[in-house]
Amino acid sequence: MSATSDIRAYSKRLMLILQALDILLDRVPAADDLTAVSSQCEAVLEDLTVLRSDLRATIGDGPTATLRGAAVRHSISLTMGELPLEAAIQALGEIPQLLDKVRTQGSGTSVLSVPLVLAYRHCVESLMPLAAAVDPRELA
């Protein structure tokens, strides 16, 4: 698999996660079924955790010195793309506690939007170095 197709595969998975987060953000303000929101959040969290794990496996020990500039850019972009995912995972990890508060205190579900937006933002931050590393010559 070429470096570009590798990065494209990770980017595509990240875009699917962003799409799921976007759907959740649309559903949360009017959510009557907190169990469905909870299960969807867990699914997104699981997908994000698997993606980060796969990126880490691909990265290995991180960037290494080499004379091949493309290999270095590929390695650095994967490393930079993996870093924001930890913050996104942490933000999504707060949702179960917030759901418990919503259930017990009867407060509005809009409080769930904060970690979802943070996770969305961190996923976009993760996508940017991946997109920048794609070699346009390999897209044809």
Quick: pLDDT tens for 87-134: 999 999 999 999 888 888 877 788 889 999 999 999 999 988 887 777
Whether the predicted pLDDT of 55 surpasses 60:
yes
| Residue owning tokens 């999504």 | 92
Exposure string for 7-43, b = 16+ CB within 10 A, e = fewer: bbebbebbeebbebbeebeebbeebeeeeebbebbee
Q: What is the average pLDDT across 10-39?
A: 87
Question: Predicted confidence band at 4 (pLDDT cuts at 50, 70, 90)?
Answer: low
Whether the predicted pLDDT of 15 surpasses 90:
yes
Per-residue pLDDT at 10: 87
Whether the predicted pLDDT of 48 surpasses 90:
yes
Question: In this structure, are residues 128 and 12 in contact, taking their beta carbons and an 8 Å threshold?
Answer: no
Rounded Cα distance between 39 and 134, Å, is 34
Whether the predicted pLDDT of 58 surpasses 90:
no
Question: In this structure, are residues 24 and 43 in contact, taking their beta carbons and an 8 Å threshold?
Answer: no
Rounded Cα distance between 32 and 35, Å, is 9
CB atoms within 10 A of CB 2: 11
Whether the predicted pLDDT of 56 surpasses 90:
no
Per-residue pLDDT at 3: 57
At the second CATH level, the architecture of 3-134 is Up-down Bundle (1.20)
Percent of all residues in the chain with a pLDDT value above 70, rounded to a whole number: 85
